[in-house]
Amino acid sequence: MSAITYSNARHERLARLARRATWRLAGGVLVLWAVATLTFFALHLMPGDPVLAILGGASGNPTAETIAQATREFGLDKPLAAQYALYLGRLLQGDLGMSYSQHLPVTQVLAEQSGATLQLTFSALALAWLLVLALTVLTAGRGRWVSSLASLAETLAAALPHFWLGILLLAVFAFGLRWFPPAGSDGWRTLVLPAVALAIPLAGFIAQVTRESLELTLEQPFVLTARTRGLSDTAVRFKHALRHAVLPGISLSGWAIGALISGAVVIEVIFSRKGLGRQLYQAVQAQDLPLTIGISLAVAAVYVLANIVIDLLYLWIDPRQQGKTA
């Protein structure tokens, strides 16, 4: 009897989760459509003829026949509405088109470049969390002096611009001490400095919220209970308080994925790493419509997906959330 109730409850819980995931996915698709549409029109509104951009910009020396050929090849001679319809139709079939500037299918560019960017963003995210945990768990509620000092460090870290930090790290650890190579994308040694440059400001942000919530949690009665059961301070912090305290930090991580990818644009350029960020930078400069849209969509998709995952992760960490339907 009680087993059946349990199973029902569990079933219902899963169904609720699935419903929630479905809604979130539908919302995600809507977001992707909006991104595709906005990027499409924004790029078409940019002044100038994309054909010239395709043919090498102002320094090109194309003949009239070459220009006419390129215009036809990329469908730029059709009215804008027709181009948009054509574009959405292809998008639905998973065809992102050919990149003008790379002479490659956009999907292939995405396949070749996204690995490096994901590696960079996830290393940075993991590193940021390591820093957050080390800093907050060890210093929260340790007395005003330690706390304020750590808090100051977090605020400073959060305020550091990526490009400045990137250049500083380069100057010290690559040019000066020569511990790490200043450029490249192969091997873990080339990953260290870019990941640190992205992780430090992010760690600052996450640590600020995590510290605040950890300090609140440490004042909760259940923490006192745990202590009276004879648990060590470290055990209390890691086993009991942390689970409550990381929630705001985790939801911030969803946002952080987006922030990290935008940070990757700067960092990949500074460290000459391959990746979507640097590719996006070049695609925009070259007015490469299909590639710019393709990368924006891929980034938006990762962002949407990460937020769904975070949402579900939230439920898993804090079962109390399941009662409240989102």
State whether the Cα torsion 106-108-111-117 is positive or negative: negative
- Give the shortest CB-52-to-another protein separation in angstroms: 5
- Give the shortest CB-104-to-another protein separation in angstroms: 7
Backbone angles phi, psi at 78, to 5 degrees: -85, 160
Structural contact between residues 162 and 267, judged by C-beta atoms closer than 8 angstroms:
yes
Structural contact between residues 135 and 199, judged by C-beta atoms closer than 8 angstroms:
no
Question: Does 76 participate in binding another protein (rule CB under 8 A)?
Answer: no
- Give the shortest CB-83-to-another protein separation in angstroms: 17
Q: Binding residue for another protein (CB under 8 A) from 2, 61, 93, 325?
A: 61
What are the residue ranges of helices labelled H in the chain? 2-45, 50-54, 64-73, 80-92, 106-139, 144-159, 162-169, 188-218, 221-228, 233-235, 242-270, 276-285, 289-317
Tokens of 277: 């960020």
Q: Binding residue for another protein (CB under 8 A) from 2, 5, 63, 228?
A: 63
Number of residues that bind another protein (CB under 8 A): 57
**Footprint of another protein on residues 183-242 (CB under 8 A)?**
183-186
Rounded Cα distance, 236 and 222, in Å:
10
Instruction: Read off the DSSP letter of residue 105.
Output: E
Give the range of 60-68, 131-139, 209-217, 236-244 binding another protein by CB under 8 A: 60-68
- Give the shortest CB-305-to-another protein separation in angstroms: 24
Nearer to another protein, 88 or 168 (CB): 168
Question: Does 66 participate in binding another protein (rule CB under 8 A)?
Answer: yes
Rounded Cα distance, 88 and 94, in Å:
10
Q: Binding residue for another protein (CB under 8 A) from 4, 47, 144, 325?
A: 47
Give the range of 18-26, 62-70, 150-158, 313-321 binding another protein by CB under 8 A: 62-70
Q: Binding residue for another protein (CB under 8 A) from 115, 181, 248, 258?
A: 181
Residue type, 262: S
Question: Where on the chain is the footprint of another protein (CB under 8 A)?
Answer: 46-71, 73, 98, 101-104, 109, 112-113, 170, 174-175, 178, 181-186, 269-275, 278-279, 285-287
